[in-house]
Homo-oligomer: A and B are copies of this chain.
Amino acid sequence: MSVIQQILNHRSIRKYKPDPIPEDLLHEILQAGIRTSSSGNMQTYSIIVTRDQQLREKLLKPHMGQKMVVDAPVFLTFCADFNRMRRWLKINEAADNFDNFFSFLIGSIDAILVSQTVALAAESHGLGLCFLGSTLANADEIGEILGLPKNVVPVAGFSLGYPDEQPDLRDRLPFSGLVHWETYRNYSDLEIQDIYSERDNIGWQRYMKSKWLREQVDEKGIDNLAQLYTEVKYTRSSHQDYSRKLLTYLENQEFMINKGD
């Protein structure tokens, strides 16, 4: 299968066989990951490979109870990491740096690029995975469980194992809604409605399979998918809470946000 065919066949996998991933295969896909380009070739990331059952059970709560964390044999956490680099600076009597917002983003980009390389390397060997956004949302609690020192912050993570399901391809927004030619061309209201028309139907049907979401829809008088998103799934107050929590954690981890710094 070509690289592009493999990419077009991607599904997030939420059900796994109990089979462990052979040690040499795990090494092979991680070795591929670390060939990824990084800012200034600084490689300001770390990959944490968690196989221990008890540890994955501890990770379950900050991952919001998503069972893939315990059902898959491996959980990978990709972290922005300037701890290693700053330790190297200190040993070499170099000027300190990288305890700032820009560095946090540089490390995050490094880590996220690596995560997608590892994901595609893993899928090329028949493994399945599911990225969990909870890695970022609850970075502080996950960092505590994984014993992260200052200047290390989890930004992406996925469960990994052999698939025990073959779900349908998930819908995507149309190409023309995601790609701009030359410069950004802003959308008319009609274009927005067109871009989301398929999603409005498919997404709604998908979520209405959940009894809890159906109850929420009735209770709150929700009419459409957009309202379901911001009145139930991703509320303004929850996102403001996550923003504050992350900003506090970044300061604790010595990525200083203060604009006047």
Q: Shortest beta-carbon distance, A205 to chain B, in Å?
A: 13
Q: In chain A, residues 85-114, which have Cβ atoms closer than 8 Å to a Cβ of chain B?
A: 87-89, 91-98, 100-103, 105-106, 108-109, 112-113
Among B116, B147, B242, point to the contact of A184 (Cβ < 8 A). Answer: B147
B108 and A108 contacting across the interface, CB-CB below 8 Å: yes
Count of chain A residues with Cβ under 8 Å from any Cβ of B? 124
- A124 CB to closest chain B CB (Å) equals 4
What 1/0 mask marks residues of chain A from 107 to 139 whose CB sits below 8 Å from any chain B CB? 011001101110011011100001101001100
Q: Within the oligomer, what is the number of copies of this chain?
A: 2
Tell me whether B4 and A49 are in contact (CB under 8 A). no
0/1 interface trace, chain A 217-260, chain B, CB 8 Å (1 if under): 00000011111011101111001101110111000000011010
Q: Is A214 an interface residue (CB 8 A)?
A: no
Residues of A within 8 A of B (CB): 2-4, 6-8, 10, 12, 27-37, 39-43, 45-52, 55, 79, 83-84, 87-89, 91-98, 100-103, 105-106, 108-109, 112-113, 115-117, 120-121, 123-125, 130-131, 133, 136-137, 145-149, 152, 155-156, 170-173, 175, 177-187, 189, 192-193, 195-196, 203, 223-227, 229-231, 233-236, 239-240, 242-244, 246-248, 256-257, 259, 261
